[in-house]
Structure formats: C-alpha cells, structure tokens
Amino acid sequence: MAVHEHPHPTFRISRPGRKPQGATVVAAEGVARSSATSKAFAAVRLIVGCVFLWAFLDKAFGWGYATTDGRDWTAGGSPTKGFLSGVDAGPMESAFHSWAGDTWADWLFMLGLLGIGAALVAGVALRLAAAAGTVLMALMWAAAWPPAKHLSDGSPSMSTNPLLDHHVVYAVVLIALAVAYAGRTWGLGDIWERLPFVRRNRWLL
C-alpha cells in the first residue's frame, strides 16, 4: 500500500434536502442573468417608446426639430404631407402621393405613434403595439424603398442596404419586446396581465 493511500474510501454524505454548493451557485447565476436580461429588455422598451412618443409630440406641437413651429399638427399642418409627397421610388410611389396630407392618413399616423409609444413606455399591450408598429414600419419601409438603386428621376438612391434598414430593425425590436414580456420589468405589465378583460383576450398582452 502506498504511503499516501487511504486504507478505506472516504464518502461524503449530503444532508437530505440540501443542494450541492455548485448547484446553488449556478442557480444564483441563472437568476442574476435572468434579472439582467429583463432589465436590458425593459431599458430597450423605454428607449424605443420614447422615440415614438417624441416623434408624436414634435409633429403635434412643432418643437423645432423635425417639425418647425407653425407646421405642426395643432397649427393645421399635416404630419404626413411632407414625407409622403416626397416619396420618389418604389411601386407604391403614386399611392403614397395620393395619401399625402389626407385627414385619415394624418390621424392614423399620429394615433399610431402615440399608441405605440404610450404602450411601450407603460409596458402594456405590447403584442398590439408590436403588430401596429410592424405595419407602420412596413409602410415606411415601402415609402423609403431601400431595394431601389435609382430614384424615379434617375438619380442614385444612396440606399445602404436593399432589404434591411432601421424600419426593419424597429419592427424586429418591437416583436422581441412583446415575446419577452418586457413590460413586466419597470412597467405595468404584471398589473395589465391580471385585468379581467386582458385575461379573456390574450391578444391584448
């Protein structure tokens, strides 16, 4: 028998109901990661929500950024006329020109910005916000029409990518936030989900 060899094997008996220390550490790390992920999604939700709300407020009240004073919606300006009348590429060019400045288009656009932004900031109805936001981003993508190499007047479009632009990114982010239930952290998601009419209509989550 070797000098350092024990004559009998040593067994370590764990107490009943007690988890090994390694498992406890792994579980704690999992909880920490889950918490960090939830907070990261919540931060993205709030940032994107503020982007939509800012667009609504600037177009509604003309804060002097994208919309100058006197051209705002409350002063009689149209939040869609400038953008849609400037569409110069794509198969929907003529349709967008005909919609530019229409009352129904202005109202739908502004209500969309307000509703999506408010839902994201509050953390409620994220599925509905994702659906509405995806439709809005798809229409804006069609107006920008990234696949075009040239505009209708023949000049270069300067498109940086024929498929993926910031409209697609926003749509994907909105869908991810809804799938991740991002309204439960730093939002009213938990309260919203427990409301009777929401529990009966799960599409409102």
User: Which token pair is 94?
Assistant: 């003529």
Give the C-alpha distances (Å, rounded to integers) separating 146 from 12, 24, 92, 125, 160: 66, 51, 13, 30, 8
Any residues with CB less than 8 A from the CB of 87 and at least 6 apart, and which?
93, 96, 97, 143, 145
Band of pLDDT at residue 7, cut at 50, 70 and 90: very low
**Phi, psi angles (nearest 5°) of residue 61:** -120, 0
92: exposed, middle or buried (C-beta count within 10 Å: 0-12, 13-18, 19+)? middle
pLDDT surpassing 60 at residue 13 = no
Band of pLDDT at residue 146, cut at 50, 70 and 90: very high
- Res 64: pLDDT: 87
* Predicted confidence (pLDDT) per residue in 67-110, tens digit: 888 889 999 999 999 999 999 999 999 999 999 999 999 999 99
Give the C-alpha distances (Å, rounded to integers) separating 138 from 35, 102, 135, 143: 32, 19, 5, 9
- One-letter amino acid at 67 equals T
- Res 70: pLDDT: 84
Return mean pLDDT, the chain. Answer: 89
Helix residue spans in 123-181 (DSSP H): 126-144, 166-179
- Res 69: pLDDT: 80
Average pLDDT of span 113-132: 98
* Predicted confidence (pLDDT) per residue in 25-62, tens digit: 556 566 667 899 999 999 999 999 999 999 999 999 99
Which residue do the tokens 């000049």 mark? 155
Predicted TM-score of the model (pTM): 0.84
